[in-house]
Amino acid sequence: MIYTVAEAMSSPVVSVDRDMTVAAALTLMRRKGISSVLVRPRGPDNDWGIMTKRDVITKVVAQDLDPRAVRVGDIMTVHLITARPEWTLKECSLKMRAVGVRRLPVVNDQGEVIGIISDTDIFQAVEERGWEGS
């Protein structure tokens, strides 16, 4: 059986509100040992977002901004590309490379976010089991 996104993804996802400060989100990320958080939509007409360590470095630190004064919603990335749980790791890797990202939220048939898959997740899965499952 081919190793799938569902088998390698992290779930449940860690998510935050757009109004949280970057400093508070960083504390949460450090405590959870993660490098990104998904940002919940404000309502049915809003998209999910994501804030990564790279966003913090390029949009807060490099700009000499105070992370206690900047909100997650100010630096998050929106209009996320998503992965499907049934994709193979190869399919997911190709999508990540094509769009130039290191992680993708995973959505089910109802459009609900059920996990997140990162390049680290894929690397660990391939290192442990290769492209094929055992």
Percent of the chain as helix, strand, coil, to the nearest 5: 35, 25, 40
pLDDT tens-place string over residues 97-121? 999 999 999 999 988 999 999 999 9
> Phi-psi category of 57—alpha, beta or left, where left has phi over 0 and alpha has psi -120 to 50?
alpha
Q: What is the spatial distance between Cα 99 and Cα 40, in angstroms, rounded to a whole number? A: 22
Q: Which pTM was predicted?
A: 0.85
Report the alpha-carbon distance of residue 40 to residue 33 in Å, rounded.
Answer: 20
Low-confidence residues of the chain: pLDDT under 70: 1-2, 45, 130-134
Amino acid at 130: G
Q: d(Cα 32, Cα 11) in Å, to the nearest integer? A: 13
Average pLDDT, the chain: 91
Q: Which residues pair with 105 in a beta bridge?
A: 116
DSSP bridge partners of 124:
none
Neighbours of 13 (CB within 10 A): 19
Q: Say if residues 84 and 68 touch (Cβ distance below 8 Å).
A: no
